[in-house]
Amino acid sequence: MTPAGKAREGKLASRSVQAAFLVALIVLWYLATTRWGVSSILLPNPVLVVRQLWDILKSGEFVGDLRVTLTELGIAFAISATSGVTIGYLISRSHYRIRVLEPLFAGIYSVPIILFLPLYVLFFGLGPASKIALGATISFFPIALNTIAGFGYVDKVFVVAARSMGASDVQLFRYVLLPAALPIILTGMRMGFTVALLSIIGSETIASLAGLGHRIVHLAEGMEMARMFAYIAFVVAIALILNTIVSALEARGKRHT
Amino acid sequence: MTSLATTLRSWLRRPWIARVGAVIALFVFWEIAARWWVDPMFLSPPSRVLMSLQAVFDTRGVPAALRITFWELGVAFAMSVVIGLVVGLAVGLQPFAQKSFMPIILLLYGTPQVTILPLFILYFGIGPASKIAFGVSHGIFPIIMAIVAGVQNIKPILLTSARSMGASRWQVLRHVIFPHMIPSFFAGMRLGMTGVLLGVLLAELYVSTAGIGYFTTLFTQNFDPTRLFGLIAVLAAMAIVLNEIVRRAEVHFSRWHAD
């Protein structure tokens, strides 16, 4: 057999293992709920879950909560992206500032910022403001740190070469600094987006009035398990779609520089 | 006067002094803001928070809650490391298993686990078990990924030559794979610790009967920012210490690999 054919066969085999794994999981789930008498409060019937999911999608009940969560996410990310890139850029312009402030930012970043959620709730209330503030804080650090790393460590040779060829400040920024820094900044933005999404859904779960995280908790407290599983599947799908879109945008942005 | 300015300038030239200065300036700003500008119901000056640390520890149940949270973190981290190591080796050492199961692990790692937090409470109760389980679910994936990456990075020639010199499976594992895995293993442990902290604290804040989540809720609802700040400061210090221990261990154990 040719190596290419062998590789294709290997790929097919591992794909079928993955498919078998998923099918086995669903069959076990189904059997557990129908045959083995696992309480429907712990594990609802998968058929019921699919029906509920269909009902949620058809009735459009999710629109309100989805809009709340996405609005929070959009505002939080807009705040952290603009402030993170601006502050990161300003810091990266001097070695002194990098050496003073970068370890400080990295240190704060290593503290689990979710700890401050009770404070944010105290300051900003139970509504969207506290989620926006928390999401913006958490996603600020990866964006700012990557902006510092992007602009701060551009190879000196490029800068000197551009200057000696008579580049102006604007030209230096446009043709040397920005292309060198952009891939790293985009990576920071993707990381920031992911943690912003996580922390917003998380803080909605812990204390909130609306949003997808709130909806899941609400259903859990009402013991409507099938609908809750359906919502979990929905939120996971939304998160995966958003993360895929952001990764694709990141890859695209990197290609264009 | 000029000599004072010169000393100040020469001090500020050292980055770490300037860094401490920036932190102090932040605290001074906070102190001023809390004393004169902001409603004391919401913000409490750092001096008062520092003074109240004793009161936080004297609050009935807080020391026990801190102990429980610390214990949850420790157990969750230990379980993440053990399970992560076993799964990581099982998946990483077999190319076929890796190709089959890595996408599934990546998919699980990419899902926002916080959506299933209510399920953890449902299955494991509102006690420490659910916090440990949720912490493990956050800590285990970075460790698996790091171990798989570490196993992958071993040069095939080392494995081949060990085998051709007649090493048994166990000997290859013990003398070739383990030593080469150490740096990525500790890198994974550091990320795993970050995950465990996030998972346990999220679950604590969500619902808690005896851990610190109970007290953060209590202090928030009583509009007692002084003690809330104090408790959060203690927890942040705990997180920093745990992170630092794992980071030091990483630096220490990956030193031989540098040359």
Residue of A nearest to B197 (CA): A112
Summarize pLDDT for B138-177 with one digit per residue, the tens: 999 989 988 888 888 788 888 888 888 888 888 888 788 8
Instruction: Answer whether B15 sits within 8 Å of A100, measured CB to CB.
Output: yes
**Between residues A76 and A116, the one the model is more confident about:** A76
What is the domain range of residue B26?
3-37
Claim to verify: residue B9 and residue B62 sit in the same structural domain: no
pLDDT over 80 at B256, yes or no = no
- End-to-end CA gap in chain A: 42
From chain A, the residues in CB contact with B22 under 8 A are 100-101, 104
Instruction: Answer whether B42 sits within 8 Å of A123, measured CB to CB.
Output: yes
Would you state the structure tokens that stand for residue A118, as one six-digit string? 């009770």
Burial A29-66 (b: 16+ CB within 10 A, else e): beeebeeeeeeeeebbbbebbeebbeebeeeeebeebb
A224 secondary structure, DSSP code: -
Instruction: Answer whether A220 sits within 8 Å of B122, measured CB to CB.
Output: yes
Claim to verify: residue B218 and residue B156 sit in the same structural domain: yes
Average pLDDT over residues B51-71: 82
Instruction: Answer whether B111 sits within 8 Å of A239, measured CB to CB.
Output: yes
From chain B, the residues in CB contact with A228 under 8 A are 118
The DSSP code sequence of B145-214 is HHHHHHHHTS-HHHHHHHHHTT--HHHHIIIIIHHHHHHHHHHHHHHHHHHHHHHHHHHHHHS-SSSHHH
From chain A, the residues in CB contact with B117 under 8 A are 202, 205
Summarize pLDDT for B101-138 with one digit per residue, the tens: 888 888 888 788 888 888 888 888 888 888 999 999 99
Instruction: Answer whether A101 sits within 8 Å of B19, measured CB to CB.
Output: yes
Q: Are B204 and B69 in contact (CB under 8 A)?
A: yes
- Nearest 5°: the CA angle B31, B33, B39 is 110
Nearest-neighbour CA in chain A from B116: distance (Å)? 7
Instruction: Answer whether A111 sits within 8 Å of B232, measured CB to CB.
Output: no
Give the closest residue to B235 by CA, choosing from B26, B31, B29, B57: B57
Would you state the structure tokens that stand for residue B132, as one six-digit string? 């440990």
pLDDT score at A144: 92
Domain count, chain A: 2
Instruction: Answer whether A115 sits within 8 Å of B235, measured CB to CB.
Output: yes
Instruction: Answer whether A206 sits within 8 Å of B235, measured CB to CB.
Output: no
pLDDT over 90 at A155, yes or no = no
CA distances from A202 to A68, A214, B23, B180 (A): 14, 9, 29, 37
Claim to verify: residue B105 and residue B33 sit in the same structural domain: no
Claim to verify: residue B146 and residue B32 sit in the same structural domain: no
Claim to verify: residue A7 and residue A109 sit in the same structural domain: no
Reported as a pLDDT band with limits 50, 70 and 90, residue B2 is low
Claim to verify: residue A32 and residue A69 sit in the same structural domain: no
Claim to verify: residue B9 and residue B97 sit in the same structural domain: no
CATH assignment of the domain containing B235: 1.10.3720.10
Claim to verify: residue B31 and residue B113 sit in the same structural domain: no
pLDDT score at B258: 47
Nearest-neighbour CA in chain A from B119: distance (Å)? 8
Instruction: Answer whether B206 sits within 8 Å of A14, measured CB to CB.
Output: no
A176 secondary structure, DSSP code: I
What is the reported pTM? 0.82
Burial class (CB in 10 A: 0-12, 13-18, 19+), B71: middle
pLDDT score at B91: 85
Alpha-carbon gap, residue B155 to B152, rounded angstroms? 8
Claim to verify: residue A8 and residue A120 sit in the same structural domain: no
pLDDT over 70 at A35, yes or no = yes
A60 secondary structure, DSSP code: T
Claim to verify: residue B143 and residue B115 sit in the same structural domain: yes
Q: Say if A44 falls within a structural domain.
A: no
Claim to verify: residue B244 and residue B116 sit in the same structural domain: yes
Claim to verify: residue B112 and residue B235 sit in the same structural domain: yes
pLDDT over 50 at B38, yes or no = yes
Residue of B nearest to A197 (CA): B112
Q: Among all chains, which residue has been given the structure tokens 């004072």?
A: B4
The overall longest dimension of chain A from CA atoms, in Å, is: 79
Give the closest residue to B121 by CA, choosing from B216, B210, B206: B206
Instruction: Answer whether B216 sits within 8 Å of A118, measured CB to CB.
Output: yes
Claim to verify: residue B95 and residue B10 sit in the same structural domain: no
Claim to verify: residue A34 and residue A66 sit in the same structural domain: no
Q: Are A154 and A180 in contact (CB under 8 A)?
A: yes
Q: Among all chains, which residue has been given the structure tokens 């890859």?
A: A251
Q: Say if B105 falls within a structural domain.
A: yes
B28/A contact by beta carbon, under 8 A:
no
Claim to verify: residue A6 and residue A92 sit in the same structural domain: no
Q: Say if B123 falls within a structural domain.
A: yes
Claim to verify: residue A86 and residue A212 sit in the same structural domain: yes
Give the type of residue at A173.
Answer: F
B40/A contact by beta carbon, under 8 A:
no
Please give the backbone phi and psi of residue A61, each rounded to the nearest 5 degrees, phi first: -65, -25
CATH assignment of the domain containing A247: 1.10.3720.10
Proportion of chain B above pLDDT 70, given as a percent:
96
What is the domain range of residue A24?
1-38
The region, left, alpha or beta by phi > 0 then psi within -120 to 50, assigned to residue A2 is beta
Instruction: Answer whether A107 sits within 8 Å of B122, measured CB to CB.
Output: no
From chain B, the residues in CB contact with A232 under 8 A are 115-116, 119
From chain B, the residues in CB contact with A18 under 8 A are 100-101, 103-104
Give the closest residue to A221 by CA, choosing from B184, B121, B14: B121
Summarize pLDDT for A199-211 with one digit per residue, the tens: 898 888 888 888 8
Claim to verify: residue B132 and residue B12 sit in the same structural domain: no
Average pLDDT over residues B211-222: 81
pLDDT score at B127: 83
Instruction: Answer whether B43 sits within 8 Å of A17, measured CB to CB.
Output: no
Q: Say if A1 falls within a structural domain.
A: yes
Would you state the structure tokens that stand for residue B165, as one six-digit string? 């010199």
pLDDT score at A4: 60
Nearest-neighbour CA in chain B from A208: distance (Å)? 11
The region, left, alpha or beta by phi > 0 then psi within -120 to 50, assigned to residue B44 is beta
Nearest-neighbour CA in chain A from B94: distance (Å)? 12
Instruction: Answer whether B225 sits within 8 Å of A119, measured CB to CB.
Output: yes
Domain count, chain B: 2
Claim to verify: residue B24 and residue B135 sit in the same structural domain: no
Claim to verify: residue A155 and residue A238 sit in the same structural domain: yes
B35 secondary structure, DSSP code: I
Count the neighbouring beta carbons within 10 Å of the beta carbon of residue A193.
26
Claim to verify: residue A1 and residue A81 sit in the same structural domain: no
Claim to verify: residue A32 and residue A124 sit in the same structural domain: no
Claim to verify: residue A86 and residue A173 sit in the same structural domain: yes
The residues in B 176-235 lying below 8 A from A, measured between CB atoms, are 194, 197-198, 201-202, 205-206, 216-217, 219-220, 223, 225, 228-229, 232, 235
Claim to verify: residue A33 and residue A64 sit in the same structural domain: no
Residue of A nearest to B94 (CA): A14
Average pLDDT over residues A63-81: 90
From chain B, the residues in CB contact with A235 under 8 A are 112, 115
